[in-house]
Amino acid sequence: MDRIVIEGLHVRGIVGINPEERKNLQDIVIDVTLGVDTRAAAASDDIADAVNYRSVTKAIIAHVEQGEPMLVERLAAEIAALCLGFDERIEEVEIELHKPGALRFADSVGIVIHRTRQDLP
């Protein structure tokens, strides 16, 4: 399986359970790895045969900016479902999501999840 990698996507959004987290935008750093067969795009050199990762990125940014989940687990799962639903050629996705400064004495707290098309409802 080929992989398209989007690293270090910095977005600001609402996520957390504490009162200040529910009203103040926080930094969220997201890495996305899309499992895609890229052979058709490589052979044709045509964007129509490729997963448009710019559009996927814009959809992720809009989702984070508009949503207000309580848990990073929920946000990561929502982003994974968004990616899998975005283009049928995306067969699997790994989401790594970090909240910098969320824990005292730690650079960040985060989660890594892996989902496949079979995980969709």
The two structure tokens encoding residue 51:
């997963």
CATH of the domain at 65: 3.30.1130.10
- 23 is in which domain, residue-wise? 2-119
pLDDT band at 48 (very low <50, low <70, confident <90, very high): very high
Helices first, then strands: H and E counts in the chain: 4, 4
Q: Which of 33, 79, 99, 110 is catalytic?
A: 99
- Structural domain count of the chain: 1
The two structure tokens encoding residue 2:
């080929």
How far are the Cα atoms of 17, 28, 45, 75, 120 from residue 13, in angstroms, in the given order?
13, 7, 36, 10, 25
Please, what is the end-to-end C-alpha distance for the chain in angstroms? 23
Active-site residue, 99 included: yes
Q: Which residue has the tokens 């910095």?
A: 10
68-114: pLDDT as tens digits: 999 999 999 999 999 999 999 999 999 999 999 888 899 999 999 99
The number of beta carbons lying within 10 Å of the beta carbon of residue 93 is 26
Q: What is the pTM of this model?
A: 0.94
The number of beta carbons lying within 10 Å of the beta carbon of residue 110 is 19
Return the percentage of the chain with pLDDT > 70, whole number: 100
The answer to whether the beta carbons of residues 30 and 79 sit under 8 Å apart is yes
pLDDT band at 40 (very low <50, low <70, confident <90, very high): very high
Q: Which residue has the tokens 């890229």?
A: 38
